[in-house]
Amino acid sequence: MISYDDAVKLILAVAGPSPGVQLPLKEALGYALARDVFAALDQPPFHRSPLDGFAFRAADTEGAEPCSPAKLTVSGYIPAGTVYDAPLKQGEAVRIFTGAMLPLDADAVVAQEKAIHHDNSLLLERRYSAGENVAWAGEDVLCGSLLLPAGTLLGPAELGLIASQGISSVPVYPKPRVAILTSGSELLEIGEPLSPGKIYNSNRYLMEALVSRAGAFPDYRGKISDVPDDLRKAIAQASQVADFVLTTGGVSVGDHDLTPAAVAGTGAEILFHRVAIKPGTPVLAAKLGNKLIFSLSGNPAASLVTFLQFVLPALQLARGVNWQQQVVKALITKSFPRKKDQIRFLSAKTIFSGGRFVSEPQSLQKSGVITSFRGVNSLIILPPGQGELAAGSMADVQLFPQIFDNLPLAGRE
């Protein structure tokens, strides 16, 4: 058995992305950039008006005040997408609309609701400075500047920013494919009649959902029989078609826990088997060539916790994401008794209230109890050597924005 910290270090040391590929922009949502992307042009690409109004020369409003307004002649009309060819002369203004290119020599804009306009006359009752209500070329992005660094996860805003540069495809890291295998003679697939001593294969759906939420592709390879050679062959074959192999069940130290020997039988290097944590102590990680194998407990709560601690960071690194576990200090609202021997992870609901994070552990915390994760969004970390988690104390809490929907947003209760 190794420590939790050592297990995490081993995973972070061996996990990493595959070579980058070029994807069309419309297919790149949710991928991470494999290289820096630089701006191909200024944004905006020209001086433009950010509102509907009138463009003019700021110098023509020198000395203007309500009792003596500057009087300008409106000599043109510029909708967005058109160009006013002539330079703006002294004493002239043009009607302009949001997004339209300013005429040459115009350097200020007044909003139409703040303008006094009649026919072709415009009255301005104060002095305007150069640049008022003007979006200058390159004020958002300069041509040649770093647009997005490698490792950036591409969301809607990032795709919009890239598209504004006229870039049609981007270099990204491929999303990893995860082969999922479930073992256990007691498992039945949904739709099969439930008989005494049998349970439905919920781990399949739990793992598929977790892998999807982690930004990878789940590839369920079926239920494996409790025959050592069948198990070894299934793991070896899965490693040939996927970047990761994820198994559940049969990973402990009982007579019928065949997974560790099966993984070793493939020729994989065992990175660790058994970590000083609860739940999920029997977790195993191995490396077969450039593929990672994770074998998790068949107990659903234990498999979920160990997925979050070890598989999730490996998948994020494989995607090329600049991943770091998000940990906050939270006020504990309900006590929880425990032993002191090893790190304990407690499923909890965490909110942001009164300027701080507040976390409530679930009452029932058992390896096989999946309802302990219903409606939660976090894990409270109890370090080794600590006894009871006392109400009113402070504790470290892990947040998982990649996985859970009901996140504790600052300012919302």
Note the pLDDT tens digit of each residue in 355-376.
899 999 998 888 888 888 888 9
The yes-or-no verdict on residue 255 having pLDDT over 70 is no
Domain boundary among 273, 297, 318: 318
| Position 294, amino acid | F
Structure tokens at 176: 């990893």
Q: Is 412 part of a structural domain of the chain?
A: no
- Identify whether residues 276 and 209 lie together within a single domain: yes
Closest CA to 373 of 313, 315, 299: 299
Asked if 358 contacts 393 with a C-beta cutoff of 8 angstroms, the reply is: no
- Identify whether residues 259 and 293 lie together within a single domain: yes
Closest CA to 319 of 183, 192, 173: 173
The yes-or-no verdict on residue 334 having pLDDT over 70 is yes
List the Cα angle 197/200/203 in 5-degree steps.
Answer: 125
- Identify whether residues 34 and 143 lie together within a single domain: yes
**Residue 385 and residue 398: Cα distance in Å, rounded?**
19
- Could you report the per-residue pLDDT of 291-311, keeping only the tens digit for each? 999 999 999 999 999 999 999
Q: Is 132 part of a structural domain of the chain?
A: no
- Could you report the per-residue pLDDT of 8-47, keeping only the tens digit for each? 999 999 999 999 999 999 999 999 999 999 999 999 999 9
Write down the pLDDT at residue 89: 94
Q: Is 407 part of a structural domain of the chain?
A: no
Residues in CB range of 67: below 8 A, 6 or more apart: none
- Identify whether residues 160 and 185 lie together within a single domain: no
- Could you report the per-residue pLDDT of 188-197, keeping only the tens digit for each? 888 888 888 8
Instruction: Provide the CATH number for the domain around residue 336.
Output: 2.40.340.10
| Position 19, amino acid | P
- Identify whether residues 338 and 311 lie together within a single domain: no
Q: Is 198 part of a structural domain of the chain?
A: yes
- Identify whether residues 65 and 32 lie together within a single domain: no
Q: Is 156 part of a structural domain of the chain?
A: yes
* Residue 170, CA distances (Å) to 78, 118, 275 in order: 35, 50, 40
Continuous H helices in 266-411: 300-306, 312-318
**Residue 38 and residue 294: Cα distance in Å, rounded?**
38
Instruction: Provide the CATH number for the domain around residue 194.
Output: 3.40.980.10
- Identify whether residues 150 and 208 lie together within a single domain: no
Helices first, then strands: H and E counts in the chain: 7, 25
Cα torsion angle, 140, 43, 173, 178, sign: positive
- Identify whether residues 253 and 356 lie together within a single domain: no
Strands 269-273 and 37-38: unpaired
Size (the chain), residues: 413
pTM recorded for the entire structure: 0.83
- Could you report the per-residue pLDDT of 39-81, keeping only the tens digit for each? 999 999 999 999 999 999 999 999 999 999 999 999 999 999 9
Domain boundary among 272, 300, 318: 318
Structure tokens at 122: 């415009």
Domain that holds residue 161: 21-43+139-173
- Identify whether residues 289 and 179 lie together within a single domain: yes
Q: Is 409 part of a structural domain of the chain?
A: no
- Identify whether residues 185 and 111 lie together within a single domain: no
Residues in CB range of 272: below 8 A, 6 or more apart: 2, 6, 7, 10, 283, 284, 285
3 state SS of 365:
coil
Domain boundary among 318, 344, 378: 318
- Identify whether residues 215 and 87 lie together within a single domain: no
Asked if 236 contacts 333 with a C-beta cutoff of 8 angstroms, the reply is: no
411: confidence class by pLDDT, cuts 50, 70, 90: very low
Asked if 364 contacts 371 with a C-beta cutoff of 8 angstroms, the reply is: yes
- Identify whether residues 100 and 30 lie together within a single domain: no
Q: Is 131 part of a structural domain of the chain?
A: no
- Could you report the per-residue pLDDT of 106-144, keeping only the tens digit for each? 999 999 999 999 989 999 999 999 999 999 999 999 999
Write down the pLDDT at residue 406: 64
Q: Is 120 part of a structural domain of the chain?
A: yes
Cα torsion angle, 255, 257, 259, 264, sign: negative
* Residue 207, CA distances (Å) to 12, 216, 295, 300, 303 in order: 21, 11, 12, 9, 9
**Number of domains within the chain:** 4
How many other CB atoms sit within 10 Å of the CB of residue 80?
13
Instruction: Provide the CATH number for the domain around residue 167.
Output: 3.90.105.10
